[in-house]
């Protein structure tokens, strides 16, 4: 699968957020602020997972449709990936 450059950029931003959280912890900042930032990272990761799964699903369904194959299992697998990520 080819990953969209926008998804890679999202992950780089998340990486930066994580570095910021570590810096906040090293500076002994308030735990509420640290937790707020950690929640933002978790949300950003969840959204990134959704984007990757949906892009992959579209790609796989399109390919299966071209071959005349059933897409039921692909859809189930995508849903399972999303459920597992939570």
Q: Can you give the pLDDT at residue 26?
A: 98
What does CATH list as the number for 5-84?
1.20.58.1000
Mean pLDDT by runs of 10 across the 86 residues of the chain is 89 98 98 97 93 86 86 86 80
The answer, as to whether pTM is greater than 0.85, is: no
From the number of C-beta atoms within 10 Å of its C-beta (0-12, 13-18, 19+), residue 37 rates as middle
Q: Can you give the pLDDT at residue 41?
A: 97
* Helix axis angle, 31-67 to 72-84, nearest 10°: 170
Residue 48, sorted as left (phi over 0), alpha (psi -120 to 50) or beta, turns out to be alpha
Rounded to an integer, what distance in angstroms lies between the CA atom of residue 85 and that of residue 44? 13
Q: Can you give the pLDDT at residue 83?
A: 85
Q: Can you give the pLDDT at residue 73?
A: 85
């Amino acid at each position: 699968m080819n990953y969209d450059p926008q998804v890679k950029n999202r992950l780089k931003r998340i990486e930066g957020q994580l570095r910021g959280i570590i810096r906040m912890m090293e500076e002994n900042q308030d735990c509420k602020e640290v937790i707020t930032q950690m929640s933002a990272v978790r949300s950003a990761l969840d959204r990134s997972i959704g984007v990757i799964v949906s892009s992959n699903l579209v790609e796989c369904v399109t390919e299966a449709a071209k071959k005349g194959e059933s897409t039921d299992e692909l859809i189930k697998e995508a849903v399972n990936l999303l459920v597992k990520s939570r």
